[in-house]
């Protein structure tokens, strides 16, 4: 249902992505999330063989809650 809303342009999930980073920038991204500088960072990981990128999302709310426990 939410996917349908996104596809129809009624749900702006892209607006929640603060930055796109490489795998080597993950530690820095966690620091930014903890400091409240970004909402969500998307880690772009190249597939083996240089094919299209796959993405993984680090959700700031869950990660920040876990980091501050």
The answer to the question of residue 7 being in a domain is no
The answer to the question of residue 44 being in a domain is yes
**60-67 and 26-34 helices cross at what angle (nearest 10)?**
80
Segment holding 3, helix H or strand E: helix 2-7
> pLDDT digits over 47-63, tens only?
665 554 444 444 444 44
The answer to the question of residue 45 being in a domain is yes
| Helix, strand, coil percentages, rounded to 5, for the chain | 40, 25, 30
Residue 19's DSSP bridge partners are 41
The answer to the question of residue 47 being in a domain is yes
The answer to the question of residue 9 being in a domain is no
What pTM value is reported for the model?
Answer: 0.52
> pLDDT digits over 3-24, tens only?
899 899 999 988 889 999 999 9
Domain span at 26: 14-67
Query: For the chain, give me the number of helices (H) and strands (E)?
Result: 3, 3
Kindly state the tokens that stand for 26. Answer: 């993950």
The answer to the question of residue 19 being in a domain is yes
The answer to the question of residue 51 being in a domain is yes
State how many domains the chain has. 1
The answer to the question of residue 8 being in a domain is no
């Amino acid at each position: 249902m939410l996917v349908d809303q996104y596809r129809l342009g009624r749900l702006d999930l892209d607006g929640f992505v603060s930055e796109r980073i490489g795998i080597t920038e993950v530690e820095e991204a966690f620091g930014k999330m903890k400091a409240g500088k970004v909402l969500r960072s998307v880690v772009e990981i190249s597939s083996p063989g240089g094919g299209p990128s796959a993405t993984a999302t680090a959700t700031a709310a869950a990660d920040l809650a876990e980091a501050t426990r």
